[in-house]
Structure 1
Amino acid sequence: MSAPLPLPPLVDHHCHGVARHDLAPDAFAAYLSESDAPPAPGTTFFDTQLGFAVRRWCPPLLDLEPHCPPEDYLRRRRELGAAEVNRRLLGSTGIADYVVDTGLTDGLLAPHELAAAGAGAACHEIVRLEWLAERIADRSGSRAAFLDALADAVEKAAGTAVGFKSVAAYRFGLDLPPEPPREAEVRAAADRWLGTRAPGGRLTDPVLLRHLLWSAVHTGRPIQLHTGFGDPDLSLHRCDPLLLTDFVRAVRPTGCTLVLLHGYPYHRGAAYLANVFPHVYADVGLNLSHVGASAEAVLSETLELTPFGKLLFSTDAHGLPERYVVGVELFRQALTRLLTGWVREDAWSSGDAERVAELIGAGNARRVYGLAVRTPVHDHRGFP
């Protein structure tokens, strides 16, 4: 390819808010890992692929040299303050649209604040189903009131949000019966849960998790499903996206779009489901950030089977604006190396490579979530 691939204004189709206040070193480092335990003795969570990627791509945006020591980076971060760090880092990414999961909120920028910090990008909401049910349970005095309010809330959310998300993988696992639960099952499960739940308690009942999923299916809005790795709350072997196969089949007649998030180390299974089922899409977000320098290999494996019109870019950034920078840069680097290599080998044409880059980076997400094409609000960096 004679010229670099242009990077489109990106749509980050799955992400979260970032911290609005300055972070202590330990709090910052905790966002570099999915673990809830301290790092190995004599190390920090900077000693990970994600930590090294932060030190490679973020220091120049704060007037430091790449790969500077963590202490220097954190010192400079404190000098600038959270607002300026957020402005610099988010404004550098070329993200034009944030599709924000609002199920994580504590101390984080709201979607409109995130978009404003990102040089005037647009923001769109994804409603987390389990969070919605838990908030309603906190204020419901009876099972009937809970189920009625939940039905109303799902319907209302479908009118304002661009989609829903389920973390059933965390709360139970993906090996749920695929069919909708019967009304009597739902009533009995709600009585059970509400009767034993303390205020703020999490929803883990498999019947109610299925009820939530099917309530969202019937709205017709896209549903994001966590699959693959995450923090220690989940059991990884029960988060394989292939466990969703019967559910995927059951949903197919409704036309509801299912977006399989992450998937690692089962990302090839997610690619298979996206390949054979018309309503299933796959995501590359969290995987690339956490595998860091191996991002090209993981993206290549995902592209083995995923149709190019069914793979979506995201960062799954949470807490740190650095995770937006790293998510974008690792995606840019990995996609560039893969596509330029395939063009050089004459396996692909340069025009096809540019078209696929646009589809994965933005076009597929705009189609899935019904987002308008926007004129870039700030300069974005092209592929190197």
Structure 2
Amino acid sequence: PPSLHLQYNTHSVPRHARQDRSGFRTVKQEGAAPGKSPTTPRLSERPTDRRRSMEARYAELRRAVEETAAVDAHAHNLVDTASSLPFLRCFSEADGDALAFAPHSLSFKRSLKEIAALYGCEASLEKVEEFRKAQGLSSIGSKCFQAANVSAILVDDGLAFDKMLELEVHKEFVPTVGRVLRIEWLAETIINDDSFSGSSWTLDSFTETFVAKLKSVASKIVGLKSIAAYRSGLEIDPCVSKTDAEDGLRKELTGQRPLRITNKSLIDYLFTCSLDISVQSHLPMQIHTGFGDKDLDLRKCNPLYLRAVLEDERFAKCQLVLLHASYPYSKEASYLASVYSQVYLDFGLAIPKLSVQGMVSSLKELLELAPINKVMFSSDGYAFPETYYLG
């Protein structure tokens, strides 16, 4: 950004500065020892000149990026404008009292300006919200998705919002909409279904139902998704015993409904069963890694904890997508993508939720080791069309 470029002040160059053959300006340091002339290099080229040169060099690449319609590989459902979800959630993963501090973050200030510029209104939260209400979802949705130049979105519809829109509605804004099935949501839906008699379930009967439902939709979805990181962490045991998993199921069934599965043994078992289907059906498995809302324990979201899964030969051909740049574990994710053929990376949420420096730093860390063709784009858009645009 222009604001980050250092200004070169010619008046600050001492008279004894000289230019050598390399094109650098060198300055003799004050107090140098006799017979020695230590020098400090100064670029003779102005930052604005260097910037123009860089822009010209990559102009063709920039045009290609801007003109090519993107596939948004991970996102969530939009909500109706009458939803109770506060628009401030567009800018932050915070909730409750912590959300009130969001307007003081760098990412909020930048994102609000970008939205206001798109809408042609004053860069204030009040004016942007007024514009949204006046225009309606159809208008702002079209504006945001057209500006984002997105040709397809792959939607994880397992994240529930008030007045959440069905997948079919999203086709008003994007030609292609694919569904990503969240495996924990599926398991909880089965358990919470009143038509099933959970009290008589065994692990075998529950697994049979779970796997049958996965197989029945395998041809209708574009991928699977796990939020094990949110529930029990990423140190998943792919060899968890059926005894431990059965005990975990029994404990979950004694809980209150609607049930939210948190038992580690059961989650590990369901994850492993899902990877089997993933391999059989050639479906990628998206895995939440790194930061999110406060519902997760960030200490357990380091992708390095996935080693046991990655070393398991049964899943060597399964495409595992580590979401959200694994921030703040981006370097670790980059390493995994470089040494495991089945690991792919995604930087949605890190862009745009981090500061400019944070986004640049995180993406650089992803690219330190990872093959470029294994680093993928998504917006992690959710609820509001603006999140797709900002991403």
Q: Could you tell me how far apart the structure 1 residues matched to 2:58 and 2:156 are?
A: 39
- Picking from 165, 189, 197, the partner of 2:225 is 165
2:351 corresponds to: 288
Cα distance in 2 for partners of 1:125, 1:27 equals 25
Cα distance in structure 2, aligned partners of 1:70 and 1:89: 17
Could you tell me how far 1:251 is from its partner in structure 2?
5.1
SS in 2 for 1:134: helix
Q: Once the 2 structures are TM-superposed, how far is the Cα of residue 189 of structure 1 from its aligned partner?
A: 2.2
Contact 1:268 1:301 in 2 (8 A): yes
Q: CA RMSD in A?
A: 2.0
Could you give the per-residue CA deviations for residues 113-142 of structure 1, whole angstroms, max 9, x where no partner exists? Answer: 223223xx2011110010000000012313
| 1-structure distance, mates of 2:185, 2:313 | 22
Which residue number in structure 1 is paired with residue 115 of structure 2?
58
* Structure 2 counterpart of 1:217, from 265, 268, 275: 275
Superposed counterparts of 1:171-190, under 5 Å: 171-177=231-237, 179-190=238-249
Corresponding residue SS for 1:58: helix
**CA positional deviation for 1:83:** 2.6
1:237-256 residue pairs with structure 2 within 5 A? 237-250=299-312, 253-256=315-318
1:27 is aligned to 2:86: yes
Unpaired runs of at least 5, structure 1: 328-384
Partner residue in 2 for 1:114: 170
SS at the partner of 1:190? Answer: helix
Q: Distance in 1 between matches of 2:244 and 2:126?
A: 55
User: 1:278-302: CA deviations, max 9, x gaps?
Assistant: 0000111111211132222221121
Whole-Å Cα distance in 2 between the matches of residues 38 and 211 of structure 1? Answer: 36
Alignment map for 1:1-384 (pairs within 5 Å):
1=57, 3-5=59-61, 6-7=64-65, 8-22=68-82, 27-39=86-98, 44-64=101-121, 68-106=123-161, 107-118=163-174, 121-139=175-193, 140-141=196-197, 142-144=200-202, 145-177=205-237, 179-194=238-253, 196-219=254-277, 220=279, 221-250=283-312, 253-262=315-324, 263-294=326-357, 295-327=359-391
Going from structure 1 to structure 2, the CA distance change for 1:23 and 1:148 (only over 3 Å counts) comes to closer
How far apart, CA to CA, are the structure 2 residues paired with 1:60 and 1:39? 27
Query: What TM-score results when the alignment is normalised by the length of structure 2?
Result: 0.76
Provide the C-alpha distance between the structure 2 equivalents of 1:35 and 1:114, rounded to a whole number of angstroms.
26
Give the TM-score of the pair, scaled to structure 1.
0.78
Amino acid at match of 1:152: A
Q: Is the 8 A contact 1:143 1:187 kept in 2?
A: no
Instruction: Tell me the alpha carbon deviations over residues 218-241 of structure 1, each in whole angstroms, 9 at most, x when there is no partner.
Output: 121211111111111111111111
Deviation at 1:2, TM superposition (A): 5.7
Task: Give yes or no for contact 1:286–1:316 (8 Å, CA) kept in 2.
Answer: yes
Change in CA separation of 1:108 and 1:30 when aligned onto 2, cut-off 3 Å = same
Contact 1:21/1:83, CA 8 A, preserved across alignment: no
CA shift at 1:36, angstroms?
2.2
Structure 2: how far apart are the matches of 1:298 and 1:187? 40
Aligned-partner Cα distance in 1 for 2:58–2:350: 30
**1:373 aligned residue:** none
Q: Which deviates further from its counterpart, 162-171 or 81-90?
A: 81-90
Report how many aligned residue pairs link the two structures. Answer: 318
8 A Cα contact 1:29 1:44, kept in partner = no
Rate the CA distance shift 1:131–1:251 in 2: closer, same or farther, 3 A: farther
Task: Encode CA deviations 1:65-118: one digit per residue, 9 max, x unaligned.
Answer: 5xx122111111111122322222122211111011010243222222223223
Q: CA deviation at 1:312?
A: 0.7
Q: SS at the partner of 1:12?
A: strand
